[in-house]
C-alpha cells in the first residue's frame, strides 16, 4: 500500500515516545497522516486545530486517568465531539471508566472485559499492548464504517 495515498488524519496522544513512534510508523505505512502529542494539553490543542479523523488516546499519562479528562474535553467541545476516539491503556488495575463513556452497560465500568472495544458510541477501549497491525485494523474499521 502506497504511503502517498492519503487515507485520513490520525492524532496519537501518548506520553511514551516509543509507543508514539511505533504507532506513527505503522499508521504512516498504512497511508495515514499521523500527528503525535505527548501530553493531554498538547493533544487537545492539536485535536482542535487539526480536526483529525481518528484520535488514539493513552489513558494513563501524568495522572492515572488523564486520558479520560482529554476524552471528556473532546466530547464537550462541539468542534471535536464527533471525532472517534480509540482509548488504550497499559494500566493493569481495573480503572473505573467514567459514566459518560459508557453505553448500555449495566455493570460498573472497568477497563477490561466486556467494555473492551466498545466503550462509547464512537469510542473504543483497548488494553495495551495493541500491536501496530491491530491498531491499523482498528483505525481502518472506524474510518470505513
Partner 1 sequence: MPGRVLVIDDEASIRLACEKVLRAAGYEVEVAADGAEGLERLRPGVFDVALVDLKMPGVDGMEVLRRAREVDPDLVTIVITGYPSYESVVEAVKAGAYDYIPKPFSPDELRTVVGRGYEKHDLERQARLLREERARNLATIAEERGRLLTVINSMADGVMVTDREGRLVLYNPASARWLAPDPLGRPLGEVCGWGELEGLVREVTTTGGLRSLSTDLASDKGAPTFMVTVAPVLAEAEAAQAAAGPGPGGPRPAEAAAGPGGTGPEARRAGREVLGAVLVLRDVTELRRQERERANFMAMVCHEIRVPLSAIAGYLELMLQGVVGQEAWPGLLERCRARAEGLVALIQDMLDLSRMETLVRQVERVAVREVVEESVAMLGPQAERAGVTVRVEAPDAETVVSADRFELGRVVTNLLSNAIKFNRPRGSATVSWRREGDYLVIRVEDTGIGIEPRHLPRLGEEFYRVREEATAGIPGSGLGLSIVRNIARSYHGDLRITSEPGVGTAVEVRLACCPGL
Q: Which residues of this chain interact with partner 1, rule CB under 8 A?
A: 15-19, 21-23, 25-26, 29, 38-39, 60-62, 90-93, 128-133
Minimal distance, residue 46 CB to partner 1, in Å? 15
Query: Any bridge partners for residue 123, and if so which?
Result: 85, 120
Q: How far is the CB of 62 from partner 1 (least distance, A)?
A: 5
Please state, in angstroms and as integers, the Cα–Cα distance from residue 26 to each residue in 3, 12, 129, following that order: 11, 12, 14
* 11 touches 48 (CB < 8 A): no
What are the grid coordinates assigned to 11, written together?
A: 492524532
To the nearest whole angstrom, how small is the minimum distance from the Cβ of residue 91 to partner 1?
5
Q: Cα separation of 104 and 144, whole Å?
A: 24
Select 98 or 132, whichever has its Cβ closest to partner 1.
132
Q: Cell triple for residue 40?
A: 493531554
Please choose, from the candidates 48, 6, 45, the residue with its C-alpha nearest in 3D space to the C-alpha of residue 27: 6
**Closer residue to partner 1 in complex, CB, 90/143:** 90
CB 78 → partner 1: shortest distance, Å? Answer: 30
Of 39 and 122, the one with the shorter C-beta distance to partner 1 is: 39
The nearer residue to partner 1, 41 or 102, going by C-beta atoms, is: 41
Amino acid at each position: 500500500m502506497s504511503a502517498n495515498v492519503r487515507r485520513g488524519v490520525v492524532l496519537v496522544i501518548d506520553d511514551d515516545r516509543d509507543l508514539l513512534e511505533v504507532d506513527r510508523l505503522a499508521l504512516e505505512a498504512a497511508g495515514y497522516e499521523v500527528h503525535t502529542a505527548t501530553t493531554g494539553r498538547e493533544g487537545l490543542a492539536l485535536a482542535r486545530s487539526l480536526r483529525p479523523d481518528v484520535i488514539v488516546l493513552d489513558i494513563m499519562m501524568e495522572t492515572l486517568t488523564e486520558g479520560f479528562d482529554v476524552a471528556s474535553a473532546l466530547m464537550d467541545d462541539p468542534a471535536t465531539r464527533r471525532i472517534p476516539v480509540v482509548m488504550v491503556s497499559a494500566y493493569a488495575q481495573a480503572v473505573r471508566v467514567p459514566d459518560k463513556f459508557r453505553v448500555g452497560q449495566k455493570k460498573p465500568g472497568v477497563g477490561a472485559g466486556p467494555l473492551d472495544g466498545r466503550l462509547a458510541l464512537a469510542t473504543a477501549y483497548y488494553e495495551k499492548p495493541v500491536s501496530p497491525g491491530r491498531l491499523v485494523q482498528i483505525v481502518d474499521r472506524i474510518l470505513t464504517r
